[in-house]
Amino acid sequence: MSSILDFFKGVLIGAGAILPGISSGVFCVIFGIYEKLVNSVLNLFHDFKKNITFLFPLALGGIVGVLLVGKLLNFLFITYPMPTKFCFIGLILGSIPILLKKANGSKGFRLHYLIFLLLAFLFGVLSIKLESILPKIFNVQVSSSYFLYLVLAGFLMSIGIVVPGVSSSVILMSLGVYTTYLNAIATVDFYILFPLGIGIFIGSLIFLKLIQFLLYNYYSQTFYAIIGFVLGSVIVIYPRYLF
């Protein structure tokens, strides 16, 4: 029974990896499995049977969630682009109370935590410029360079998969490859999905270690920085009102 429940949790976690403004990590926090998931992945071979029993239904559900939601989103962005974007902005803002509760849960609020929020917000806003800068650096018109660019996109996308509150889809929007990503999922285009997958795998291992360290040593500061990124992602989805 628990495996079936974990499968449906995985479906929502997978949806979080593709819905703009929603984070896979936030779903893990809501379900109360975030720390267990991080430890299971990083210590997979320490107790392989136990960890794989926990991870497999989540991973299977995640794949189903990505495939189902990818096709739906591809349709919505083509047919109803404006309402869809406004819906995602609402979802982003709706995740803030959950993150604030987590941020203030251990030691309560400290005024200097707002510095981390502000710096992360500014970084999130500046990430809009990545769409115009990185493709030029990687010369994405060349197929071999575009492959490496997609690996980088997957690597950065893994931040949104691993870190609660940071949307991987918003990161892809900043890189200018979100529409390409949706089309690739809808058509199962491995030419796009394979390099993204390589980047996601490498990035997830690195950022899982990093987030484990940060949450252990700087719990509240880390969550306030995450809130800053989340607020900045609103600008990424709808930058034209300000830029």
- Burial of 162-177, coded b for 16+ CB within 10 Å and e otherwise, reads bbbbbbbbbbbbbbbb
Q: Which domain holds residue 220?
A: 2-241
Q: What percent of the chain has pLDDT over 90?
A: 4
- Contact at 8 Å (CB) between 39 and 213? no
For residue range 224-233, list pLDDT tens digits in order. Answer: 888 887 787 7
208 alpha carbon, distance to own chain's centre: 12
| Residue 87 contacts residue 79 (beta carbons within 8 Å) | no
**Average pLDDT for the chain:** 78
Q: What is the DSSP string of 24-66?
A: HHHHHHHHT-HHHHHHHHHTTTTTHHHHHHHHHHHHHHHHHHH
Contact (Cβ atoms closer than 8 angstroms) between residue 23 and residue 163 = yes
Start-to-end CA distance of the chain, whole Å, equals 50
**Nearest-angstrom CA–CA distance, 13 and 61:** 8
22-74 pLDDT tens trace = 677 777 777 778 778 888 888 888 888 888 888 898 889 888 888 877 777 77
Q: Tell me the per-residue pLDDT of 126-158, one tens digit each, with 9 for 90 and over.
A: 766 665 565 556 555 555 678 888 898 899 888
Q: What's the domain count of the chain?
A: 1
